[in-house]
Chains A and B, each alone.
Chain A
Amino acid sequence: MRHLTPINKKARHIAESTEQDVVALQGGPLATPSGPHIPLGCTFVFSPGWETDASGGTAGLCQPVERDLFDCHLTCFWPAHVPDLYNYAPDWTGKCASAQKDWRKIDLIFP
């Protein structure tokens, strides 16, 4: 992080955690092992999000279910089946600022 200087304790914590973030598996093991990183995809790290969360408990499961749509289609190894957001339906989620509240605004797409 060269362009921002962390000032308070929280900022230092954020700066450290971004440096240790998981970027790619081919990058080799990290110097210090970091904790499970949920957006990597729950199936990918063998900690299925439907049964236990990153800490082994049940409080942080993939809830609400509407959230799966985004957590899975953008980042997951096993993506949710959604329209092609890059080419044909870029505004598909435009009216859905918050999946939990606005999921009804996501409409069907007909090619």
Chain B
Amino acid sequence: MTLLRRGEYHAFDADGAPYVYLVPSAGVFRLDDASVAVLDALGDQDLEPNELVRTLSDRFPASDLRATVEDLLNVRALRLVDRPVEAPVASPPRKRIPLTTLVLNVTSKCNLACTYCYEYGEDRIVEASRKPRFMNEETARQSVDFMFAESGESPVVHLTFFGGETLLNFKVLKSALAYAQDRAATLGKTVDTSLTTNATLLREEIVDWIVENDVGVTVSMDGGREQQDRFRVFNNGMGSYDVVLPNIRMLLERHRRRPVGARVTLTKQNLDVESIYRHLRDELGFWEVGFAPVTTSWQRDYAIQEDGFEEMLSQFQRLAQEFLHYALAGKHHGFSNVRDTLEEIHKGMSKAYPCGAGIGLMGVATDGDVALCHRFAGSDSHKIGSVTEGVDRSKQEDFLMKHHIANKTDCSTCWARPLCAGGCYHEAHTRYGSSERPNLHYCEWIRRWTDTCLQVYGTLAERRPEYLAQFDA
């Protein structure tokens, strides 16, 4: 006898209407009354279709119920018990995915000494002392050549400068970008450039270069004076707020062609997301503000503990509501965490890997070693090649096999896995000593945050679908 069972999905309400987020397909469907009734009637039990129809026959015509069951089976919100669910098999991409983003760690040196820094702090994985402190011009040029060689058919490549403090090596930035533009013109490609900086060294000459070359800028900054100076300090312990403030004002005033974003590190001591957002967006004028909890092992003084995650979530949710009101009114809101997730939901991304590291994105260390991403650049155990010798395909394939979502047993029952896929490799490495592990310390947080974003998404889809059209490209 064929029995019906509920498939894998997450049910949520948005703007008063019921929806399902299907797993693992990542399809979002709105349900009608009959489909809600069918899913509710099934609950956690298995039912024979006729029995299910009988149970609900006083509320819906039998033909309607059968059609509903068929629809739900088709999208796999329901399944037949005697059809086993196919176990996912780890299979790396069949076709080679071109490299579209190359992050150059142009220096491992920094003029700040932020307490929580993963490059220098207690949780560092790269022994910077064994590598050159600065990338030289030749390695930077070789990196650019490597980038174009690995970019395949991709018409646009993204070159990102990172550090250490990126601007400590401004000379190499200038020559590398000039060389990249030259190569791009020869190859008929476009190079899009961005950099991340702590803004302490921004001066007229550098801003001129940024504006002239249309460089995207992200400023690492933690909020107002008190928030910034808690951890973002110079070697002598002096806070950096008063140094960066005039520089940021100058940058925001002069660099109008591309949105400038702020990137905030949240810690146990700095969790007031709303006030940080107000300061950076409303008072300073950043176009958008992205937040991420500090990457650290759990026992550090600044590590966010469970009650901190709870606090962070409620603040994220309040800002997400504000984001929704702005979007419904057709206005820009700068809380980039919501926007990024909405785009992924809209496209229905179902990820085999949490990010593009080691696939479409790679990081280059100061000596030209290529690693999974900028956070691993310089770590010998995460090296997958070098800019002169290219990518070691067997290492890359090995990485792709080991990190596939199908090999993360803990994720196999989680409905948020199409979007999360286990989370940041570097975070996992710092917490658990292995990039292969899923980040179990924030699972519940991710599920509740994804649920919030799904509600925002459903409401926008219902009331202002034109807002979501921007993600169609």
Write the residues of chain A forming the contact surface with B, with a CB cutoff of 8 angstroms. Answer: 1-11, 13-15, 18, 21, 57, 59, 63-64, 67, 70, 74, 85-86, 90, 93, 96-101
Interface presence of B187 (CB below 8 A): no
Interface pair B35/A96, CB less than 8 Å apart: no
Among B66-74, B294-302, B354-362, the stretch in contact with A: B66-74
What is the CB-to-nearest-CB distance from B97 to chain A, in angstroms, rounded to a whole number?
A: 15
- In the complex, what distance in Å separates the CA atom of A98 from the CA atom of B67? 29
Interface pair A59/B71, CB less than 8 Å apart: no
Interface pair B472/A9, CB less than 8 Å apart: yes
- In the complex, what distance in Å separates the CA atom of A105 from the CA atom of B84? 14
For A11, what are the chain B residues with a Cβ–Cβ distance below 8 Å? 22, 27-29, 75, 348
What is the CB-to-nearest-CB distance from A3 to chain B, in angstroms, rounded to a whole number?
A: 4
User: 4 smallest A-B Cβ distances: which pairs?
Assistant: A10-B348, A11-B27, A98-B87, A18-B74
Given A15-B75, A59-B91, answer yes or no on A7-B29 (Cβ-Cβ < 8 Å): yes
Interface pair B32/A3, CB less than 8 Å apart: yes
For B74, what are the chain A residues with a Cβ–Cβ distance below 8 Å? 1, 14, 18, 21
Write the residues of chain B forming the contact surface with A, with a CB cutoff of 8 angstroms. Answer: 1, 19, 22, 25-32, 34-35, 64, 67-68, 71-72, 74-75, 77, 82-87, 89, 91, 94, 345-348, 350, 457-458, 461, 472
A-B contact count (CB 8 A): 101
- In the complex, what distance in Å separates the CA atom of A6 from the CA atom of B91? 28
- In the complex, what distance in Å separates the CA atom of A97 from the CA atom of B67? 27
Interface pair A10/B84, CB less than 8 Å apart: no
Closest residue on chain B to residue A5 by CB atoms: B30
What is the CB-to-nearest-CB distance from B389 to chain A, in angstroms, rounded to a whole number?
A: 28
- In the complex, what distance in Å separates the CA atom of A100 from the CA atom of B30? 34
What is the CB-to-nearest-CB distance from B451 to chain A, in angstroms, rounded to a whole number?
A: 15
Among B64, B84, B458, which residue has its beta carbon within 8 angstroms of that of A96? B84
For A70, what are the chain B residues with a Cβ–Cβ distance below 8 Å? 83-84
Select the residue from A3, A9, A74 with max chain B CB neighbours within 10 A.
A3
What is the CB-to-nearest-CB distance from B17 to chain A, in angstroms, rounded to a whole number?
A: 9
Interface pair B94/A8, CB less than 8 Å apart: no
For B64, what are the chain A residues with a Cβ–Cβ distance below 8 Å? 3
Among A4, A64, A86, which residue has its beta carbon within 8 angstroms of that of B71? A4
Interface pair A7/B91, CB less than 8 Å apart: no
Given A5-B29, A11-B29, answer yes or no on A97-B83 (Cβ-Cβ < 8 Å): no
For A86, what are the chain B residues with a Cβ–Cβ distance below 8 Å? 1
Interface pair A59/B348, CB less than 8 Å apart: no
For B91, what are the chain A residues with a Cβ–Cβ distance below 8 Å? 59
Closest residue on chain A to residue B35 by CB atoms: A3
For B347, what are the chain A residues with a Cβ–Cβ distance below 8 Å? 8-10
Question: What 15 additional pairs, Cβ within 8 angstroms, besides A10-B26, A10-B28?
Answer: A2-B32, A3-B72, A4-B29, A4-B31, A4-B35, A7-B19, A7-B28, A8-B27, A8-B28, A11-B28, A11-B29, A13-B27, A70-B84, A74-B82, A96-B84
Interface pair B27/A10, CB less than 8 Å apart: yes
Interface pair A8/B1, CB less than 8 Å apart: no
Closest residue on chain B to residue A15 by CB atoms: B75
Interface pair A14/B27, CB less than 8 Å apart: yes
Among A3, A59, A63, A93, which residue has its beta carbon within 8 angstroms of that of B34? A3
